[in-house]
Structure 1
Amino acid sequence: MADWPHDALVLTPHDIDLSRSPLAGKIDAETYVLGAFNPGMTRLPNGNLLLMVRVAEALRTPVREQQVHAIRWHDGGYVLDAWPLSLVDTSDPRKFMMRGGGWKVMALTSLSWLLPVELDAEGRAVKAIHYDRAIAPRTDYQCYGVEDARITQVDGRYYMTTCSVSPERHSTTLYTSDDALDWTLEGIVLDHQNKDMLIFEGKVGGKFCAQTRPLGDLYFAYPPESEWRAGPSINLATSPDALHWKPYDKPGIRPHAQTMATARMGGGAPPVLAEVGGQQGWLSLWHGVEPSGVVGIYRTYWTLLDRDDPSRALATDHAPLLEPAPELLKPLENLLYVTDVVFTTGIADGGDHWVVASGEADLACRITHVPKDRIG
Structure 2
Amino acid sequence: MSVFPFDRIVFAPGDVDLSRSPLAGELDAETYVLGAFNPGMTRLANGNLLLMVRVAEALREPERDGQVHAVRWEAGAYVLDAWPTGAVDMSDPRKFTVAGGEWRVMALTSLSWLLPVELDAEGRRVEAVHYDRAIAPTESYQCYGIEDARISRVGGRYLMTTCSVSPERHCTTLYSSGDALDWTLEGIVLDHQNKDMLVFEGLIGGEYWAQTRPLGDLYFAYPPGSEWLAGPSINLARSPDGLHWRPHDQPGIRPRIDTDATARMGGGAPPIPTDAGWLSLWHGVEPSGIVGKYRTYWSLLDRDDPSVTLRSGERPLLEANPALTEPLRDLMYVDDVVFTTGIADGGDHWIVASGEADLACRVTHIGKEMFV
Q: What are the within-5 Å matches in structure 2 for residues 136-147 of structure 1?
A: 136-147=136-147
Q: What are the within-5 Å matches in structure 2 for residues 29-68 of structure 1?
A: 29-68=29-68
Tell me the equivalent position of 1:107: 107
Q: 3-state DSSP class of the match of 2:213?
A: strand
How far apart in 2 are the matches of 1:210 and 1:57?
29
- TM-score normalised by the chain length of structure 2: 0.99
How far apart in 1 are the matches of 2:370 and 2:313?
12
Q: Give, as a single letter, the amino acid of the residue that structure 2 aligns with 1:138.
A: T
Tell me the equivalent position of 1:181: 181
1:224, distance to aligned residue in structure 2 (A) = 1.4
Tell me the equivalent position of 2:349: 353
How far apart in 1 are the matches of 2:333 and 2:228?
33
1:172–1:190 CA contact under 8 A, matched in 2: yes
- Determine whether 1:213 maps to 2:209: no
Q: 3-state DSSP class of the match of 2:325?
A: helix
- CA deviations over 1:159-215 (Å, ceiling 9, x no partner): 000001000000100000000000000000001202210000001111000000000
Q: 3-state DSSP class of the match of 2:100?
A: coil
Match 1:281 to one of 268, 277, 283 = 277
Tell me the equivalent position of 1:225: 225
How far apart in 2 are the matches of 1:147 and 1:74?
17
1:93, distance to aligned residue in structure 2 (A) = 3.0
- TM-score normalised by the chain length of structure 1: 0.98
- Determine whether 1:313 maps to 2:314: no
How far apart in 2 are the matches of 1:40 and 1:330?
24
How far apart in 2 are the matches of 1:312 and 1:88?
45
Return 5+ residue gaps in structure 1 as ranges.
Answer: none
1:85, distance to aligned residue in structure 2 (A) = 1.6
1:293, distance to aligned residue in structure 2 (A) = 1.0
- CA deviations over 1:250-299 (Å, ceiling 9, x no partner): 00000011101111001100000124xxxx21000001111111111100
Tell me the equivalent position of 1:154: 154
Q: Give, as a single letter, the amino acid of the residue that structure 2 aligns with 1:357.
A: A
Tell me the equivalent position of 1:373: 369
How far apart in 2 are the matches of 1:18 and 1:247?
40
Identical aligned residues as a percent: 75
Return 5+ residue gaps in structure 2 as ranges.
Answer: none
Q: Give, as a single letter, the amino acid of the residue that structure 2 aligns with 1:256.
A: R
1:31–1:59 CA contact under 8 A, matched in 2: yes
Q: Give, as a single letter, the amino acid of the residue that structure 2 aligns with 1:90.
A: M
Give the aligned length. Answer: 372
Match 1:338 to one of 334, 338, 347 = 334
How far apart in 2 are the matches of 1:356 and 1:94?
27
How far apart in 2 are the matches of 1:352 and 1:255?
31
1:2, distance to aligned residue in structure 2 (A) = 4.5
Q: Give, as a single letter, the amino acid of the residue that structure 2 aligns with 1:346.
A: G
Q: What are the within-5 Å matches in structure 2 for residues 62-141 of structure 1?
A: 62-141=62-141
Tell me the equivalent position of 2:290: 294
How far apart in 2 are the matches of 1:251 and 1:41?
26
- CA deviations over 1:302-334 (Å, ceiling 9, x no partner): 010000110000000231000001110110011
1:83, distance to aligned residue in structure 2 (A) = 1.2
Q: 3-state DSSP class of the match of 2:70?
A: strand
How far apart in 1 are the matches of 2:63 and 2:337?
26
Task: Please report the RMSD computed on the Cα atoms of aligned residues, expressed in angstroms.
Answer: 0.8
Tell me the equivalent position of 2:249: 249
- CA deviations over 1:11-60 (Å, ceiling 9, x no partner): 00000000000000111110000000000000000000000000000000
1:92–1:294 CA contact under 8 A, matched in 2: no
How far apart in 2 are the matches of 1:41 and 1:9?
15
Q: Give, as a single letter, the amino acid of the residue that structure 2 aligns with 1:21.
A: S
How far apart in 2 are the matches of 1:161 and 1:66?
38
- CA deviations over 1:210-241 (Å, ceiling 9, x no partner): 00000000000001100000000000000000
